[in-house]
Amino acid sequence: RDSRWLAGNMQYRHLLRLPDFTAMGRWQLIQAMLLFAGAPLYTAVLLLATLATLRGEQAGSLWPMSLAWPIALYSPKLLAYAQVLINDRARYGGAWRFLAGIAAETIFTLLLDAVATVNKTLAMLRLAFGARPGWLPQNRADRGVTWAEATILYWPHTLVGIVVFASLKSAALWALPWASGLLLAIPFCVVTARPGFSKWLARRGIAAIPEELFAVHPPGT
């Protein structure tokens, strides 16, 4: 599905040549394309930093770029978390439950984003070489994803992760928050797709919206 959206957004480049768009309209189209075009740039920074380390060079100029990506990406969400903690934490089950949700969502997002950037990069490469996106049926059954299925899907991501962390050596710890999802892609897919895992989170009200919390834990319970 993500690859399908990617292909659609990249087609906006044809609209940029039309004469009747306002400057704001063109900027919004560019932003829509950058939602996906930024992924190969981030992947390139990670691979270039790895290559620099292998050659015995300092990758200092690349690390600030890789740090700027999550700051720009996550700042709006972190500010929203702060606003809820200050003004509205009771509706989200109190400070501790909300903080538990923040921790769970942050870990999930960091692991997922590492995998998603490689996915988008591979999808853009396929488009560049003439592949056409399809609309394959999705697994919507309440059965999760098997280890074999996850391995077929994510062995390239795991291989990239192994190469990156084996090459970075002393810098591997610094890259851990942003790239560890590549190493954990297969177990991450299997665990988070398990129906029991989501039910466990729901029973505890972790990462839940107020409507979910009050449905499971009515006021006074």
pLDDT, one tens digit per residue, over 187-206 is 999 999 988 898 888 888 88
User: Is the confidence at residue 216, as pLDDT, over 60?
Assistant: no
Q: Using the Cα atoms of residue 95, residue 98, residue 104 and residue 107 in order, give the sign of their dihedral.
A: negative
Q: How many other β-carbons are positioned within 10 Å of the β-carbon of residue 163?
A: 14
Q: How confident is the model at residue 162 (pLDDT cuts 50, 70, 90)?
A: very high
Q: Identify the weakest region by mean pLDDT among 26-30, 116-120, 142-146, 176-180.
A: 142-146
Predicted local confidence at residue 101, as pLDDT: 93
Q: How many other β-carbons are positioned within 10 Å of the β-carbon of residue 171?
A: 19
Closest alpha carbon to 34 in 66, 63, 69: 69
The verdict on pTM exceeding 0.85 is no
User: Is the confidence at residue 102, as pLDDT, over 90?
Assistant: yes
pLDDT, one tens digit per residue, over 18-76 is 888 888 989 999 988 888 887 888 888 888 878 877 777 766 666 676 677 778 878 89
The mean pLDDT value for 2-26 works out to: 84
3-state class (DSSP) for residue 26: helix
Predicted local confidence at residue 215, as pLDDT: 66
Closest alpha carbon to 3 in 109, 128, 135: 135
Predicted local confidence at residue 98, as pLDDT: 93
Percent of the chain with pLDDT over 90: 28
Q: How far apart are CA 171 and CA 102, in angstroms?
A: 27
